[in-house]
Amino acid sequence: MNKTIEIRELGSKDYKETWDYQQEIFKDIIDLKIKNRREDTNLETPNYFLFVEHPHVYTLGKSGDISNLLISEEKLAEIGATYYKINRGGDITYHGPGQVVGYPILDLENFFTDIHKYLRLLEEMIIRTLAEYGLKGERSKGETGVWFDVGTPFARKICAFGVHASRWVTMHGFALNVNTNLGYFDHMIPCGIKGKAVTSLNVELGKKEIPIEEVKEKLLKHFSVLFEAELKQKTED
């Protein structure tokens, strides 16, 4: 089992371009697994964790409802946003500047074969990171993600999740609102859940801006512990 995970910093990149890049890595890992089984070899499968920031974009999961996007194609263009229907789980979400978006592309057979455990560990990574800022992140029963003040009229979501897996290989991941312009969430019903607010780290802390790299370092620290993984860094050109 290979528990080394290569961290790739993609910077600011178009959603579709990043999606294609994920698909390429995802397919390469699956092809290697198929080859191993067909040829009875035991070549190690690699693991990756991509960090990226997207320009304004709305994405709809495979089981999502387009009616949860509340604006027209013309309005999308007006606010400088794009829209894609994609192959992850979940409903509609927003990505944009000021978010930390993470896409772990892992062969879970290197770690454990339990997709629910995988999601719970990703949530735990966020919860532990928020705790370092003195904030109590929580899970909400039946609603994937990390929230504040669950079960109260003030419930609000700070991190959305949506994953896809095949042959125990994962793609897509999470979007943590750090310095996000929350006005873009007004154009959708976040994750298809009515009556729930969205928040960001800088709003919760009452600060103008939180250092993005600082947040990433904390996320990776907790990720490596939870997945018992060794991380190595690679910067994309």
Q: Which is the catalytic residue, given 191, 219, 220, 229?
A: 191
CA separation for the pair 48, 139 (Å, rounded) = 26
Q: What is the DSSP letter of 182?
A: G
Chain Cα centroid distance, residue 75: 26
In this structure, are residues 182 and 200 in contact, taking their beta carbons and an 8 Å threshold? yes
N residues, the chain? 237
Q: Is 191 a catalytic residue?
A: yes
Tokens in use for 176? Answer: 């943590």
Residues with Cβ within 8 Å of 237's Cβ and at least 6 positions away in sequence, in order, are none
DSSP letters, 12-66, are E--HHHHHHHHHHHHHHHHHHHHHHHHHT--PPPP-EEEEEEPSSEEEE-TT--G
User: In sequence order, what are the residues at sequence separation of 6 or more whose Cβ sits closer than 8 angstroms to the Cβ of residue 196?
Assistant: 155, 156, 157, 190
Catalytic residues: 191
